[in-house]
């Protein structure tokens, strides 16, 4: 009876927001937290983008940048927790923007969020494929000899396919998988930390981890003391933290499937950020402490700049390195599956309000109340977005998919830019904002502006060419090195603006209610 009352309360809240209960509300508060924790996945982002952080600053880019940025991201999480408590709908971010700022705000927010969700699904699935390949390459010399970006891309497509099939099978299965994923991340990260503490023959000093600087960007002639190093190069490494701790908006997208959503989804957002920030920091510090010395007895910064696999191979034996990579690859598969769940729910909700071409197709749910077509659309779009990863770019004689860093940058820019709009609009709303069960009180007055400023600053850095060969104004520029994050994000904004003024503003009026007013009245009277 208690569960029935909770569900009735949730359905009543949803009805007041204009929607009938179409999705299966079978997720617990823990399951809601679990999907964001799984998407953040410290065993994914921390490892797949380690090289991006280390090359742009070295150890200090991890030991100092991570905790500082984590505090700002937690502030962003608090502001979003307040919003999801007031408006617990699958549309989440764009619904908030529409409610607070009108149709145009909702339109831009929704598309930025959708682009970001597709990109993060692509980035995580590609990272998973890379780590599956690295695991097999570490274990088998024969597999390592035949490495190619084409092989990794094929694995990537297989990962996307499996994740899509699991999502299509059952919404309840996804909840169970995300619960398992939390414990896999906790146990797996703990196991890796213990391995990195006890197995290596030597560790770096505290001085190295907290003061050593490294500039592998190619800019500023390798300088680690200039203003350019601190205000341009180190911020390039922000991608490591900002990409890892993202996707927590999944708590909002799954709120229509969560019991006691107005409190459970709100807590899920900030808790997933906090626990991931702490766990990720411990994990990353252990990796930096394990960086091996070169033949001259100096820490091998160039080796670390290539990513975590060379560190594991040098600091551990083959078997231990394989175990660590396997734990990470498995966690990344959980993460990729959860990303697809979140992105498909956003696609479903945005299509429900007719903002996506072919919306009638993407807003359909099957007999199990799963938006199958939306799942397939996201999976295919993620594969198409990642096609440039097939272009081989040699770094130190090794083919590297620089497009992966562009995809992850698109994910960060798209997602965080979509967060910034409703966060700003809530601040502008002031004390007239009708809060839900979970609120920041008067602290929104300083929290929200800081959150927006952080998003704008980091997004601008992630649009910059992070290597001289990617800078169109340098002699060494080559198109294959281009960071296409600004091309996609700014190009999308231009197209959206043209679409909005030419057509969309005439028919997109924001969220469309799909419930009989009599039902809402019945809930009010009960």
The kind and range of the H/E element at 214 are strand 214-215
Task: Give the model's pLDDT for residue 524.
Answer: 54
Question: Taking each helix axis from N to C terminus, what angle separates 318-352 and 29-40, rounded to the nearest 10 degrees?
Answer: 120
pLDDT tens-place string over residues 214-250: 998 888 888 898 998 999 899 989 989 998 998 888 8
Please name the residues in contact with 514: beta carbons below 8 A apart, sequence gap of 6 or more.
18, 19, 20, 352
For the chain, the distance separating the N- and C-terminal CA atoms, rounded to the nearest angstrom, is 15
Residue 78: count other Cβ atoms within 10 Å of its Cβ.
Answer: 21
The kind and range of the H/E element at 360 are helix 359-362
Pairing of strands 393-395, 56-57: unpaired
pLDDT tens-place string over residues 240-297: 999 899 888 888 877 887 888 888 989 999 999 999 999 999 999 999 999 988 755 6
Query: What is the pTM (predicted TM-score) of this model?
Result: 0.88
Task: Give the model's pLDDT for residue 496.
Answer: 92
**Every domain of the chain and the residues it spans:** 26-464+489-510
- Here the tokens at position 292 are 């091996």
The kind and range of the H/E element at 398 are strand 398-400
Average pLDDT over residues 493-500: 94
Please name the residues in contact with 281: beta carbons below 8 A apart, sequence gap of 6 or more.
66, 67, 70
Q: Which CATH superfamily is domain 26-464+489-510 in?
A: Amino acid/polyamine transporter I (1.20.1740.10)
Separation CA 339–CA 334 (nearest Å): 9
The kind and range of the H/E element at 395 are strand 393-395
Task: Give the model's pLDDT for residue 21.
Answer: 67
Average pLDDT, the chain: 86
pLDDT tens-place string over residues 360-407: 899 898 877 788 999 999 999 999 988 888 877 665 555 566 667 778
Q: How many whole angstroms from its chain centre is CA 194?
A: 26
- Here the tokens at position 81 are 């927790």
Separation CA 287–CA 407 (nearest Å): 24
pLDDT band at residue 153 using 50, 70 and 90 as cut-offs: very high
Separation CA 137–CA 129 (nearest Å): 12
Identify the weakest region by mean pLDDT among 197-201, 342-346, 454-458, 518-522: 518-522
pLDDT band at residue 4 using 50, 70 and 90 as cut-offs: very low
Q: What are phi and psi of 218, to 5 degrees?
A: 95, -10
DSSP letter at 197? Answer: H
pLDDT band at residue 6 using 50, 70 and 90 as cut-offs: very low
């Amino acid at each position: 009876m208690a569960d029935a009352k909770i569900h009735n309360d949730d359905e009543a809240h949803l009805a007041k927001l204009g929607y009938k209960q179409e999705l299966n509300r079978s997720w617990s508060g823990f399951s809601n937290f679990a999907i964001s924790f799984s998407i953040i996945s410290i065993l994914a982002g921390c490892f797949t983008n380690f090289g991006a952080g280390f090359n742009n600053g070295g150890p200090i880019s991890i030991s100092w940048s991570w905790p500082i940025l984590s505090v700002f991201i937690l502030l962003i999480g608090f502001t979003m927790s307040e919003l999801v408590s007031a408006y617990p709908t699958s549309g989440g971010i764009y619904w908030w923007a529409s409610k607070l700022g009108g149709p145009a705000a909702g339109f831009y927010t929704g598309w930025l969020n959708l682009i970001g969700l597709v990109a993060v699904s692509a980035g995580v699935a590609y990272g998973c494929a890379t780590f599956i390949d690295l695991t097999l390459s570490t274990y088998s010399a024969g597999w390592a000899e035949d490495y190619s970006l084409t092989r990794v891309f094929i694995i990537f497509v297989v990962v996307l396919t499996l994740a899509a099939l699991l999502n299509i099978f059952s919404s309840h299965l996804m909840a169970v998988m995300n619960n398992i994923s939390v414990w896999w991340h906790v146990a797996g990260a703990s196991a890796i930390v213990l391995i990195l503490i006890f197995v290596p023959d030597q560790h770096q000093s505290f001085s190295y981890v907290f003061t050593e600087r490294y500039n592998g960007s190619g800019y500023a002639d390798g300088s680690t003391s200039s203003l350019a190093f601190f205000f341009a190069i180190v911020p390039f490494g922000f991608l490591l933290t900002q990409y890892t701790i993202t996707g927590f908006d999944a708590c909002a997208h799954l709120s229509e499937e969560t019991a006691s959503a107005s409190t459970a989804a709100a807590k899920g957002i900030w808790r997933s950020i906090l626990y991931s920030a702490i766990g990720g920091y411990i994990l990353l510090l252990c990796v930096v402490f394990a960086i091996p010395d070169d033949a001259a007895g100096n820490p091998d910064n160039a080796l670390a700049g290539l990513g975590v696999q060379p560190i594991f191979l040098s600091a551990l034996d083959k078997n231990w390195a394989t175990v660590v990579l396997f734990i990470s690859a498995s966690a990344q598969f959980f993460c990729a599956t959860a990303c697809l769940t979140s992105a498909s729910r956003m696609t479903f909700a945005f299509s429900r309000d007719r903002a996506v071409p072919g919306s009638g197709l993407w807003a359909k749910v099957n007999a199990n109340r799963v938006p199958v077509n939306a799942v397939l659309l996201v999976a295919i779009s993620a594969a198409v977005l990642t096609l440039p990863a097939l272009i081989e770019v040699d770094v130190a004689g090794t083919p590297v998919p620089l497009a992966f860093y562009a995809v992850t940058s698109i994910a960060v820019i798209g997602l965080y830019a979509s967060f910034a709009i409703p966060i700003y609009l809530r601040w502008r709303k002031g004390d007239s904002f009708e809060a839900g069960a979970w609120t920041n009180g008067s602290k929104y007055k300083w929290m929200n502006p800081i959150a927006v400023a952080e998003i704008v600053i980091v997004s601008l850095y992630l649009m910059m060419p992070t290597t001289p060969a990617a800078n169109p104004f340098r002699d060494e520029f080559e198109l294959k090195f281009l960071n296409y994050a600004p091309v996609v994000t700014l190009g999308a904004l231009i197209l959206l603006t043209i679409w909005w003024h030419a057509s969309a503003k005439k028919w997109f009026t924001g969220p469309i209610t799909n419930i009989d007013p009599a039902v809402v009245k019945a809930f009010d009277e009960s």
